[in-house]
Amino acid sequence: MNILILGSGGREHALAWAVKQNPKCDRLIVAPGNAGIAAIAECAQLPIEDGGAVVTFAEENAIDFVIIGPEGPLAAGVADRLRDAGILCFGPSKEAARLEASKSFTKEICDAAGAPTAGYAHFTDAKAAKKYIKKQGAPIVVKADGLAAGKGVIVAMDVDTALAAIDDMFGGEFGAAGAEVVIEEFMEGEEASYFILCDGENILPVGTAQDHKRAYDNDEGPNTGGMGAYSPAPVMTDEITEKALLEIVKPTVAEMAKRGTPYQGVLYAGFMIKDGQPRLVEYNARFGDPECQVLMLRLGAQALDLLEACARGTLDQAQANWADDHAMTIVLAAKGYPGAYEKGTVIKGLDDLPEDSFNMVFHAGTIEKNGQILANGGRVLNVTARGDSLQEAHDRAYEMVQKIDWPDGFCRSDIGWRAL
Ligand code: AMP
Ligand code: GLY
């Protein structure tokens, strides 16, 4: 099988690493890829949000299966173009990817499906939105409706902050994404993520995880794309997992199918859990990054079979074989991230680290120049390890971090604190 993966982050390195181990995989191309991916696959330059260009490339290279990593190509309808061309593809249609691309759409689906989530109102006008905020009071959550690279959510602890967020959003801070806003009830509790493969009709959960969104230790500092993750998430007990599937995920998948826009791909559900009850915070239409890295290390080669069954509509016959294991990933980011940071700094020590089914350094933002690995992004490396316990995975991962020589990078020292 010739496989094309779209994307360039740690998520795509982890997907490529898992897929590559499956004997079914003949040729593996990742577009655009990064320095870590280049060590295990061919990398190709390709405008990945241009459906026509992706189809042409896939046809020219006799690609049998395309796996879409990030949300950009999904929201641009790349999966639709591939399916129209008869190419097997993992990832939802543009219409189904609205579960991530539009917060108001997701709210409407939850209403129709009876799925527990925060109370909300939807506005296209700043004056009405402000009036609503003053009436509701704080804490309150203001969200840009569209894709805003994870930055379109303001959890306001006071009314003034919420009103300022409205001014920012309608003032164009988030471009078209902020032309509509959703204002939500503030939910208290513990957050966790659940990753569920859906083939339009059948579902197959592939693991729970917890992310660390804040940049610094003790959950301080600005929000980021995620500074580390582990799987499984202990807060997702069997009982809560069952509830989440029954009350939230299954009704969502059924509602999407009923509307003639079945969801095919991975549904990344974010929950807020309090007093044994999960409520939906958000859906994403892709694997989380860095959550994917821990899931792939745990799944290994079978990931390809599962993604393929998902794309073919045969998930009812698929099964995930779990070891009773734990995985953790630590994100190494460039100093300054998520603000301004330098690119091109030299990273040493990677060659001496183990690379096996228990220890992997996935590259998130790197390039190779003259035989050296250089930082080429904000989040740069994902140091990932697996063990019989979370403590073991933690110790292995931090041991690897110690051996990486990159004075221009930083990481959190407390990944996993909630569970350990
Ligand atoms: P989202 O992009 O919707 O996941 O929001 C980003 C983060 O904001 C979430 O992971 C939560 O930590 C927080 N958040 C979003 N919605 C709410 C809510 N209704 N109540 C409390 N926190 C929220
Ligand atoms: N780690 C959060 C995300 O992928 O959205």
Cα gap 418→406, rounded to integer Å: 27
As for ligand 1, residues whose beta carbon falls within 6 Å of it are: 118, 141, 153, 155, 184-187, 191, 270, 281-282
pTM of this prediction exceeds 0.75: yes
- Distance from the alpha carbon of residue 291 to the mean position of ligand 2, in angstroms: 7
What are the phi and psi torsion angles at 231 (to 5°)?
A: -145, 140
Among candidate residues 378, 330, 323, the one with its CA nearest the CA of residue 353 = 330
Query: What pLDDT sits at residue 177?
Result: 63
Helix/strand/coil for 411 = coil
Give, for ligand 1, the residue of 117, 153, 235 to mutate: max count of ligand atoms closer than 8 Å to Cβ.
153
- Distance from the alpha carbon of residue 103 to the mean position of ligand 1, in angstroms: 11
Q: Which two tokens stand for residue 274?
A: 């309090």
Give the helix, strand, coil percentages of the chain, each rounded to 5. Answer: 35, 30, 35
Nearest CA to ligand 2 atom 5: 288
Residue 265 sits at the vertex; the CA angle it makes with 35 and 123, to the nearest 5 degrees, is 100
C-beta separation of 250 from 258 below 8 A: no
Q: Which two tokens stand for residue 284?
A: 């994403």
What are the phi and psi torsion angles at 235 (to 5°)?
A: -65, -25
Task: Answer yes or no: is the C-beta of 199 below 6 A from any ligand 2 atom.
Answer: no
Give, for ligand 2, the residue of 208, 212, 291 to mutate: max count of ligand atoms closer than 8 Å to Cβ.
291
Task: Answer yes or no: is the C-beta of 225 below 6 A from any ligand 2 atom.
Answer: yes
Q: How many other β-carbons are positioned within 10 Å of the β-carbon of residue 242?
A: 11
| 274 CB-side CA count, 13 A | 11
Cα gap 142→13, rounded to integer Å: 33
Give, for ligand 2, the residue of 195, 210, 284 to mutate: max count of ligand atoms closer than 8 Å to Cβ.
284
Among candidate residues 256, 134, 252, the one with its CA nearest the CA of residue 183 = 134
Cα gap 30→11, rounded to integer Å: 12
Among candidate residues 256, 131, 130, the one with its CA nearest the CA of residue 203 = 256
Among candidate residues 213, 219, 222, the one with its CA nearest the CA of residue 339 = 222
- Distance from the alpha carbon of residue 226 to the mean position of ligand 2, in angstroms: 6
Task: Answer yes or no: is the C-beta of 100 below 6 A from any ligand 2 atom.
Answer: no
Q: How many other β-carbons are positioned within 10 Å of the β-carbon of residue 339?
A: 9
Task: Answer yes or no: is the C-beta of 71 below 6 A from any ligand 2 atom.
Answer: no
Query: What pLDDT sits at residue 221?
Result: 95
What are the phi and psi torsion angles at 49 (to 5°)?
A: -100, 5
Provide CB contacts within 8 A for 371, sequence distance 6+: none
Q: How, if at all, do strands 120-123 and 359-363 pair?
A: unpaired
- Distance from the alpha carbon of residue 59 to the mean position of ligand 2, in angstroms: 31
Per DSSP, what are the bridge partners of residue 326? Answer: 387
Task: Answer yes or no: is the C-beta of 193 below 6 A from any ligand 2 atom.
Answer: no
C-beta separation of 305 from 22 below 8 A: yes
- Distance from the alpha carbon of residue 292 to the mean position of ligand 2, in angstroms: 9
Query: Which ligand has an atom closest to residue 150 CA?
Result: 1
- Distance from the alpha carbon of residue 187 to the mean position of ligand 1, in angstroms: 8
Q: How, if at all, do strands 190-199 and 264-274 pair?
A: antiparallel
Query: What pLDDT sits at residue 354?
Result: 93
Q: How far is CA 406 from CA 11, 290, 342, in A?
A: 21, 20, 13
pLDDT in tens, the chain (420 residues): 999 999 999 999 999 999 999 999 999 999 999 999 999 999 999 999 999 999 999 999 999 999 999 999 999 999 999 999 999 999 999 999 999 999 999 999 999 999 999 999 999 999 999 999 999 999 999 999 888 776 789 999 999 999 999 999 888 777 766 678 999 999 999 999 999 999 999 999 999 999 999 999 999 999 899 999 999 999 999 999 999 999 999 999 999 999 999 999 999 999 999 999 999 999 999 999 999 999 999 999 999 999 999 999 999 999 999 889 999 999 999 999 999 999 999 999 999 999 999 999 999 999 999 999 999 999 999 999 999 999 999 999 999 999 999 999 999 999 999 999
Closest approach atom of ligand 2 to CA 287 = 4
Nearest CA to ligand 2 atom 4: 288
Query: Which ligand has an atom closest to residue 192 CA?
Result: 1
Nearest CA to ligand 1 atom 6: 153
Among candidate residues 400, 407, 368, the one with its CA nearest the CA of residue 36 = 368
Query: Which ligand has an atom closest to residue 292 CA?
Result: 2
Nearest CA to ligand 1 atom 1: 282
Nearest CA to ligand 2 atom 3: 288
Task: Answer yes or no: is the C-beta of 200 below 6 A from any ligand 2 atom.
Answer: no
Length of the chain: 420
Please, what is the angle between helix 291-299 and helix 10-20, to 10°? 10
At position 338, the amino acid (one-letter code) is P
Cα gap 243→232, rounded to integer Å: 17
Residue 13 sits at the vertex; the CA angle it makes with 7 and 18, to the nearest 5 degrees, is 120
DSSP element (H, E) containing 2:
strand 2-7
Q: How many other β-carbons are positioned within 10 Å of the β-carbon of residue 19?
A: 26
Among candidate residues 182, 63, 90, the one with its CA nearest the CA of residue 129 = 182
